[in-house]
Amino acid sequence: MTTKEAITLFKYYIQSNHKRRTIESYTLLLDRFNAIYAEKPLEGISPDEIFHFLESLTQKLSKSTRRLRYAQLKAFYNFIIDRCSLNMRNPCSTALLSKSFRAPKQLPHKILERETVYEMIYNTTRQRDRLILELQARCGLRIGELLKIKVSDVSGRTITLREPKSGKEAEMAYIQ
């Protein structure tokens, strides 16, 4: 299977299963990968070639963008290997690539004590800010979801969220 055929197959998949921004992000990477390796068999691309491709593509970008491009290329290979039952190892799974594009260790999230949250809400002077904090604390809403709420979205102790981050058309949040 040539790289061009594999990319075409993968693009059909992401167009039917992903959001617009995700499709645009993958398309940017895959178009550049296709420009270099279009006629080369997918099995013939070595980990060193992938490393040099990713390095040249992301040399002036942030570390998180570099990791994203690596993860996208790895996901592309995983998809093609799985769906086409190719008998090959993912070239992105080598030690060189995984170490070069490794994510840093995550620090544990600091969770505020309940009393601290109540104190913050109580000490807020502006009504708008207090309402925002109350809804975030009691409903677990993200700030983006909270700012899109209209009066018509509130019914009793239920809030209808339009265009939530999950990608669904609507979700319900309950005030505790």
pLDDT value at position 70?
Answer: 92
Q: Is 85 exposed, middle or buried (CB count within 10 Å of its CB: 0-12, 13-18, 19+)?
A: exposed
3-state secondary structure at position 78: helix
Angle of the 47-58 helix axis to the 63-83 helix axis, nearest 10: 140
**CA-closest candidate to residue 136, choices 125, 149, 123:** 149
Q: In what order do the strands lie in the sheet with 154-155?
A: 154-155, 158-162, 170-174
Say whether pLDDT at 117 is over 80.
Answer: yes
Beta bridge pairs of residue 147: none
d(CA 133, CA 146): 10
Distance from CA of residue 88 to its chain's centroid?
A: 27
Token digits for 173? 């949040």
Say whether pLDDT at 42 is over 90.
Answer: no
For the chain, which domains are there? 3-100 (1.10.150), 114-174 (no CATH)
DSSP state for residue 42 in the 8-state scheme: G
pLDDT value at position 31?
Answer: 93
pLDDT digits (tens, 9 = 90+) for 121-133: 999 999 999 989 9
Given a contact cutoff of 8 angstroms between Cβ atoms, the answer to whether 117 and 137 are in contact is yes
How far apart, in Å, are the Cα atoms of 65 and each of 55, 59, 128? 12, 10, 36
pLDDT digits (tens, 9 = 90+) for 1-11: 888 899 999 99
Say whether pLDDT at 97 is over 90.
Answer: no
**CA-closest candidate to residue 42, choices 87, 6, 94:** 6
